[in-house]
Structure 1
Amino acid sequence: MKALIIDDENKARRLLQHLLEEHHPEIKAIETASNLESGITIIQSQKPDIVYLDIEMPKYSGLQILNLLGESEIDFQIIFTTAYNKYAVEAFKLSAIDYLLKPIDITELKTATYKAITAVKEHTINHQLQDLKKAFNQLALNKIALEIPKGIIFVSHDEIVLFEADGMYTKVHLENRTTELICKPLKHFVAQLHQLPIFYKPHRSYLVNLKHIKELSKRDGQHLIMSNNKTIPISKDKRDEFMLVIKEVFNT
């Protein structure tokens, strides 16, 4: 029985490797990788039976394994390791796929590993990945995934007050008065949300949620006052268009 641990944190890799060596002697070989790309190289060359896959990693999330490997290449069991919030955990439960919440509990590790070992012996390939993908899509119907340094948070469209450009990053201002800095440019969110009429771009640096407009002020040029009291300018070339949008959306 061979295993592979993919995690960008060295401490997490070493700890999980130690736990497996101590509690699962039936796993004779344990490889490690610090990112998904090198992990895939090991998968293709070493053919592990079980892959312990972290989700919150730079460049490629563990969930993107479906995009980087063909479905026929996934002939191993996957156990995700994650510090995800409740929305992601809900997706795992909907797909019935195994996951371990960090910090990893020994009992949960044993349960998930024994289940994977049994599946390997019975030649039951882990087909729940497609179900997991569907579950995330289902959750995303009214949510957006925001990649933050510690992972991904899933936020309802209604919770977003506005997006603000910050160079090649974007500040996402939320209804609870918190702000998340996302390492994607504003144009990424403009393209992602362009079919949703509640989002409008009144200025090259802002994408606002029309539901969170508190006031339209015409002092010193037109600008919006949002529910979090942030003032957003309306570009001169957008003023007429914006008034048409307001009339259509709010039936004014």
Structure 2
Amino acid sequence: MKAIIIDDEPRARNLLQKMLAEINNISLEVFTAKNLLEGIALIEKEQPKLVFLDIEMPEHSGLEIFNFIKAPVNFKIIFTTAYNQYAIEAFKQNAVDYLLKPIDIDELEKAVEKAQKLISSERLTHQIEDLSKALQKIAINKIALEVPKGILFVAHDDILYFEADGMYTNVFLKNGDKKLICKPLKIFVEQLQEEDLFFKCHRSYLVNLQYVVEFSRKDGDQLIMSNQKSVPISKSNKENFLKVVQQIFG
């Protein structure tokens, strides 16, 4: 993890760098800068996760950092100073911690560990957000089927029909596979209710109209699917089906 020390005193920079190297279980690649503007240039170049920032410096105080930094801010700040009157102002700047000079090694270790936890937590949050966005993109034209070995993401176009099987549902796919899903049919009816090509023809069936090849009155009203399987259509849904067909095919 990259860290930057911004302090106008060479001795303070060197001492803090040495102390950081002595902390167990923490590996930091440390860079140093002698004033705020030099530090900001280094931040933009190295993209650190952690910045140790002195407050009392010539020209610009460390508290002015957000006057120069461009959003978004992707690092945590630990302020370092010999003056405790800056503590409240430092925390207004969303600092992780505030260390008084001379810095105590135990306090330094606690501050770094606190920063690491925050960084890890934010990284996990970002990963979850990225995964959610990716899955939302997938969900535009796909549906998630929970199978025994995991989750199968199936394109709507690859589904022939759904068949209720008690509290389970059989999903018949274009490639000839049949998947038994441990969810009732009504779950899929709700998920696909905005999809015009899926039609609930019977209390036990939800069909993809793309794969209906025939409406047959032989042996009762039935829909013949592209896999040559017959799917019943209830009387209450027959008229709706014929209306849908009329709308789609004119």
Report the TM-score when normalising by structure 2. Answer: 0.51
Does the alignment pair 1:199 with 2:198?
A: yes
Deviation digits for residues 21-51 of structure 1 (CA, Å, limit 9, x no counterpart): xxxxx69xxxxxxxxxxxxxxxxxxxxxxxx
1:250 CA drift (Å): 2.0
Distance 1:122 1:197 in 2: 46
Does the alignment pair 1:123 with 2:119?
A: yes
1:216 CA drift (Å): 1.1
Correspondence for 1:133: 132
Correspondence for 1:163: 162
Correspondence for 1:186: 185
Does the alignment pair 1:143 with 2:177?
A: no
- After superposition, where does 1:25-174 map in structure 2 within 5 Å? 120=116, 123-124=119-120, 125-126=122-123, 127-174=126-173
Distance 2:186 2:117 in 1: 48
1:221 CA drift (Å): 1.8
Correspondence for 2:102: none
Name structure 1 gaps, 5 residues minimum.
Answer: 1-25, 28-118
Correspondence for 2:217: 218
Q: Select the structure of larger CA radius of gyration.
A: 2
Q: How many residues align?
A: 136
Distance 1:227 1:182 in 2: 22
Deviation digits for residues 196-240 of structure 1 (CA, Å, limit 9, x no counterpart): 110001111000000011111111221111011110011112111
- After superposition, where does 1:14-33 map in structure 2 within 5 Å? none
* Equivalent AA in structure 1 for residue 186 of structure 2: K
* Equivalent AA in structure 2 for residue 242 of structure 1: F
Correspondence for 1:234: 233
* Equivalent AA in structure 2 for residue 123 of structure 1: I
1:120 CA drift (Å): 4.1
Following TM superposition, where does structure 1 have runs of at least 4 consecutive aligned residues deviating by more than 2 angstroms?
119-125
Distance 1:148 1:224 in 2: 27
Secondary structure of the 1:170 match is strand
1:156 CA drift (Å): 0.3
* Equivalent AA in structure 1 for residue 199 of structure 2: Y
RMSD, matched Cα: 2.1
Q: Aligned residues: percent identity? A: 55
Considering Cα pairs closer than 8 Å and 6+ residues apart, tell me whether 1 or 2 has the greater RCO. Answer: 1
Deviation digits for residues 40-95 of structure 1 (CA, Å, limit 9, x no counterpart): xxxxxxxxxxxxxxxxxxxxxxxxxxxxxxxxxxxxxxxxxxxxxxxxxxxxxxxx
Secondary structure of the 2:214 match is strand
Secondary structure of the 1:123 match is helix
Secondary structure of the 1:133 match is helix
* Equivalent AA in structure 2 for residue 195 of structure 1: E
* Equivalent AA in structure 2 for residue 233 of structure 1: P
Name structure 2 gaps, 5 residues minimum.
Answer: 1-24, 27-114
Correspondence for 2:4: none
